[in-house]
Structure 1
């Protein structure tokens, strides 16, 4: 996406804790807004971890009041002063999408430790992680509709794959957030933690992941992604073929006969 903007901000702080790497978004004064330099640094740190054989899992967290307030609106606003603001915005969205996809496809399992808020691009970043831990009271949302736009870094695609499409649609079309407790009920958040304990809970979960076999972990990530990433038409076609095969099995015939005879079926796996 061109040259990285020079900055004196730390942007990302990396800490290695035994088998887990903690990557902390570190722009607390800007509510960890996802500027191009920050996203570039995140991409670089994630890429560097591929060569760290001792590291088996990654935790993403944020410094200050919350995980991330989303895309850097100041940076986006500056595009108006350029000769091609639409092209600059398209490039930014494309860059975010590519980095988040690389995070999702990273061989190391990842856990997002959420606190305070995860809005817009911040929530989309967490959706690219394998698992999410959130402190009670954390607000999660995609408020882009309130700005006359939509989530542009995978939010409209990942969110409906993780929770009921009707709920995802409501979040996207209204821009209203949900709290961590409801997100946990919906399955968007894997574990809840008490305020101030989110990182500890995420580290404990990451340590559990780190104890797994690296090749199996990477393969498991790929298989789960493949299971949920297919297009509806492909999924329905696969479902149709699978059900057709099952219908010709002995168990299927036994099930139908047992139903007609009003008894429990005796399945044999044939």
Structure 2
């Protein structure tokens, strides 16, 4: 386990559990949290034994978003090149799952949207209340939410600022899994374990292609896919995957 005052990391199997640890501040993001999350992402990316990350919050709350007191004091909750919380604009190659309990408000919701999958407690609350403060959800909310759910539903959340429950988030398609309160981290770790059974190079290629194809012309997207397919075809993992299939055994991935 690695810990700072604001962010804890723990290796569980092949997953890295990343916990924002400011429960008295509802895990609001200040400069220290942003730096802690950025460092945790580096740990996830550079450790070959880690296959996926799970992001959660301590004390039954995911994150209340930006720490307004810290911001008014001149602190920045952003990391250059990585965005809000050191995450919302970061380019990660390994799957990242948000495990949401309690409130995921403003920047907290945007941290969840920056993840690849979301597991939500049924009584969690997701909201983007920035318009009530004269702002917009600038950590990716106005950009990502309309791509994840139908336009009119996204605009309802963005223009009213009203939160939705984890149960409704599941119906809208914001959350992949909706589980009873207190079980989101366990469910997210289970998903991470399922992903770890697959080839790490293939997982990274999926993430890269989804990013690259977003808004790109179809011809360009297929050309990028062809490049990735050629790289994967030359990898040891493809040979191992095919061999394991013919031998009816589980593959042993090398990540190369």
Confirm whether residue 74 of structure 1 aligns to residue 74 of structure 2: no
Q: How is 1:130-169 mapped onto 2 (pairs within 5 angstroms)?
A: 130-169=116-155
Instruction: For residue 50 of structure 1, report the CA deviation from its aligned partner.
Output: 1.9
Mapped partners of 2:122, 2:49: distance in 1: 32
Deviation readout 1:139-186 (Å, 9 max, x if unpaired): 101011111111111110011110111111111111001111111111
Matched residues, number? 218
Instruction: For residue 49 of structure 1, report the CA deviation from its aligned partner.
Output: 2.2
Gaps of 5+ in 2: 223-256
CA contact (8 A) 1:9 1:27 kept: no
Larger Rg: 1
Mapped partners of 1:150, 1:93: distance in 2: 20
Q: Could you say what secondary structure the match of 1:100 adopts?
A: coil
Corresponding position of 2:238? none
Mapped partners of 2:193, 2:112: distance in 1: 18
Deviation readout 1:45-96 (Å, 9 max, x if unpaired): 21122221111010001001310000011112224xxxxxxxx779779763
CA RMSD across the alignment: 2.4
1:41 to 28, 36, 42: 36
Q: How is 1:27-176 mapped onto 2 (pairs within 5 angstroms)?
A: 27-79=22-74, 96-97=83-84, 99-103=86-90, 105-176=91-162
Mapped partners of 1:190, 1:71: distance in 2: 25
Instruction: For residue 226 of structure 1, report the CA deviation from its aligned partner.
Output: 2.7
In the superposition, relative to structure 1, how do residues 195 and 128 fare at CA in structure 2: closer, same or farther (>3 Å)? Answer: same
CA contact (8 A) 1:65 1:116 kept: yes
Mapped partners of 2:140, 2:146: distance in 1: 10
Mapped partners of 1:93, 1:110: distance in 2: 20
In the superposition, relative to structure 1, how do residues 126 and 72 fare at CA in structure 2: closer, same or farther (>3 Å)? Answer: same
TM-score (norm 2): 0.79
2:209 to 183, 206, 223: 223
Q: Could you say what secondary structure the match of 2:54 adopts?
A: strand
Whose helix fraction is larger, Structure 1's or Structure 2's?
Answer: 1
Confirm whether residue 22 of structure 1 aligns to residue 9 of structure 2: no
Deviation readout 1:69-127 (Å, 9 max, x if unpaired): 00011112224xxxxxxxx7797797634832454x21110110001110000010011
Mapped partners of 2:77, 2:9: distance in 1: 29
TM-score (norm 1): 0.75
Mapped partners of 2:116, 2:158: distance in 1: 21
CA contact (8 A) 2:169 2:175 kept: yes
Corresponding position of 1:83? none
Mapped partners of 1:141, 1:62: distance in 2: 16
1:177 to 163, 174, 182: 163
